[in-house]
Chain A
Amino acid sequence: MTAILTNLFDGVAYGMLLFVLACGLAVTLGLMNFVNLAHGAFAMAGGYVCMVLVNRMGWPFFAALPLAFVSSAAIGIVLERTLYRHLYTRSHLDQVLFTIGLTFMSVAAVDYIQGSSRVFINLPAALQGQFDLFGVGIGRYRLMIIVICGLLTIALQMVLAKTRFGSRLRAAVDDPRAASGLGINVPQVFAFTFAFGCGLAGLGGALSAEILGLDPYFPLKFMIYFLIVVTVGGSSSITGPFLASLLLGIGDVAGKYYVPKMGPFVIYTMMIVILIWRPNGLFGRTAAR
């Protein structure tokens, strides 16, 4: 019984992490309809920035996390302004090719600069080990992830639903022409959203070094996971991707624990079945643009 609860806890932490990693993609892919396979590269950038700051320059872990966010967001906004924005109106094939190219470049570049082996971030002692709560083993680090990601999710939902920026973004996505006719600066809204999504990915990358493992092949290894979150979750709100991440996280952890021999088989089968059953995602809108 306690093993089940511990697994559930780990799965939730894993799922929350996936959500923070992938929710930027939910905006670009789901809302802006841009296939960004290079999303993992931004996450990797954040992870490596955090690693360098903590391990080499001796920054405290919690001070390095915001910087991971900022640096990924900065890379994101530069790339968006210079490259991505030309591709919003192009075909999906072009977008796929372009972002695969970026992914390959980022993999080789990080390999060149930092070497190909897996890196670890030195964690403060307060985050290591686990404690027992009614006999259920709770990892401190995972608990922190759940807290951070949970707060982020609530904040995101509030921003999207309640603020002026949120309604601008939703308007820009629903009908860019009408939105710009109403005086909304659509490219600016998109650029800002893209950068924010990249920043979140960077933060997720920094947090995930301990759990998912961080090496130059991160963008390729976890690309499918991010895509699953978005396509299964749909794009009508952020609750869809959020639930999909939790489902994926719990499913993956449970799959690895109870049927270790089947490996990632469970996840892929689940994804294909869901996509066949509901091509627009579990919680998606019916009309795709």
Chain B
Amino acid sequence: MNAASDVGYHAQRQARWHYGEIAFWLIVLACGFAFPSRYLIMTDILRLALFTMSLDLILGYAGIVSLGHAAFFGVGAYAAGLLALHGIVNEPVLALIVSGLAAMVLGFATSFLVIRGVDLTRLMVTLGIALLLEALAERFSNITGGTDGLQGIEMQPIFGQVPFDMFGKAGFFYSLAVLFLLFLFARRVVHSPFGLSLRAIKNNPLRAAAIGIPVNRRLIAIYTLAAFYAGIAGALFTQTTAIASLDVFAFERSADLMLVLVIGGTGYLYGGLIGAVIFRMLQELFSTITPQYWQFWIGLVLVVIVLVGRQRLHRWVLYVPNLVIRQVAGRKGIVAVPESEA
């Protein structure tokens, strides 16, 4: 067996669906039926999961550290809000796609700024873009509603059939469907040769360039795609909560997002999903203990995670699930420890 087919064999094995993954999605779906009184928080988790997946695509797979990912979330959120408010695109699914595309255009335009320079410059530029958009949204308050945000958004029924109800049931299943479809696509992307080349770039851009990977073009592509995902997450936010305010661009949102991803683990798609669940639970827990100062505990979690070491932590967290999988399925655990970090 030569090297190329060997790599192909392993890549295909990695890409195959495992029982654990199917079980994961069945559990998520079951939650929708098991906890009918918790639709709002569960929708929130799904949205956060999608947003985190978007960051994972650029951070976990391509190694771009971004402190301003809320920029795309915000653009998606405002786009969806404006489309619904002015009745430009009434059908939610169509509006969702249009909003995602709006964020994608911004992502494409700013990707040229982001691929230049080293880590630090990227941090600054991404942060700067998010702050810039926040300042713009505040400036053009006649369009965005300023600090009050967009109010009085009324969502039309999905496909003209399913109306959004006040318990958030439709919103939940709608978000779940969107998340699942986008997850399928992301899964396809990261297991494709394109996705493999991204990992090569992340591990060593110079070597990747030397073996003939067009580094900059790949980074632009994945950054644009991630912007699309973040825009969809933002649009879902507006559509399911019927508000869009300035805090969609806030730095805290981008910072929290990094925490979510780090809790779940970078470099595998389930990291974002698991992280979102754990993060929201932590947040609930902390805000019941100290309503006003939960940020302190979130900060403490971040500090502890870094000091313990993310990889060690993930070995601990995944120890039990992997053990179970090994016992039941009799083979290697599905959720491997993420490979070396950027």
Contacts and interface: CB of A to CB of B under 8 A. Distances in A.
Interface string B304-333: 011100100000000000000000000000
Contacts of B24: none
A229 to B, nearest CB: 11
A13 to B, nearest CB: 24
A184 interface: no
B120 A105 contact: no
Interface stretch (B40-48, B214-222, B223-231, B292-300): B292-300
Interface string A1-39: 000000000000000000000000000010000010000
Contacts of B293: 108-109, 111-112
Given A96-B65, A97-B305, A227-B124, A104 B299 contact: yes
Nearest to B294: A108
A173 to B, nearest CB: 16
A192 to B, nearest CB: 23
A91 interface: yes
Contacts of A86: 307
Of listed B116, B299, B307, residue having the most chain A CB within 10 A = B299
A39 B116 CA distance: 26
Contacts of B188: none
Interface string B241-258: 000000000011001001
B302 A271 contact: no
B259 A97 contact: yes
Contact of A112 (B131, B139, B296): B296
B135 A91 contact: no
Nearest to A101: B302
Contacts of B67: 96
A103 interface: yes
Contacts of A100: 255, 258-259, 299, 302
Interface string A223-249: 110011001000000000000000000
Contacts of A117: none
A223 B258 CA distance: 17
A268 B131 contact: yes
A261 B136 CA distance: 10
A96 B123 contact: yes
Contacts of A35: 120, 123
Given A86-B307, A97-B305, A105 B300 contact: yes
B117 interface: yes
B123 A275 contact: no
Interface residues of B, number: 45
B341 interface: yes
The DSSP consensus for interface residues of chain B is helix
B125 interface: yes
A288 interface: yes
Of listed B121, B259, B301, residue having the most chain A CB within 10 A = B121
Given A91-B341, A91-B342, A275-B121, A261 B302 contact: no
Interface in A194-235: 220, 223-224, 227-228, 231
B342 A272 contact: no
Given A101-B299, A101-B301, A87 B306 contact: yes
A265 B310 CA distance: 36
A263 interface: yes
Given A102-B299, A105-B296, A108-B299, A272 B120 contact: no
Given A35-B123, A268-B132, A262 B139 contact: yes
B135 A265 contact: yes
Of listed A107, A228, A262, A279, residue having the most chain B CB within 10 A = A279
B305 A272 contact: no
Given A97-B258, A271-B124, A220 B251 contact: yes
Contacts of A92: 65, 119-120, 123, 342
A94 interface: yes
Interface string B177-209: 000000000000000000000000000000000
A93 B302 contact: no
A279 B121 contact: yes
A87 to B, nearest CB: 7
Given A93-B65, A104-B295, 10 more contacts: A29-B120, A101-B305, A101-B306, A107-B295, A220-B251, A227-B127, A228-B124, A261-B139, A268-B128, A276-B125
Interface of A: 29, 35, 83, 86-87, 90-94, 96-98, 100-109, 111-112, 220, 223-224, 227-228, 231, 261-265, 268-269, 271-272, 275-276, 279-280, 288
9 contacts: A90-B306, A101-B299, A103-B299, A104-B296, A104-B298, A108-B294, A264-B131, A269-B132, A276-B125
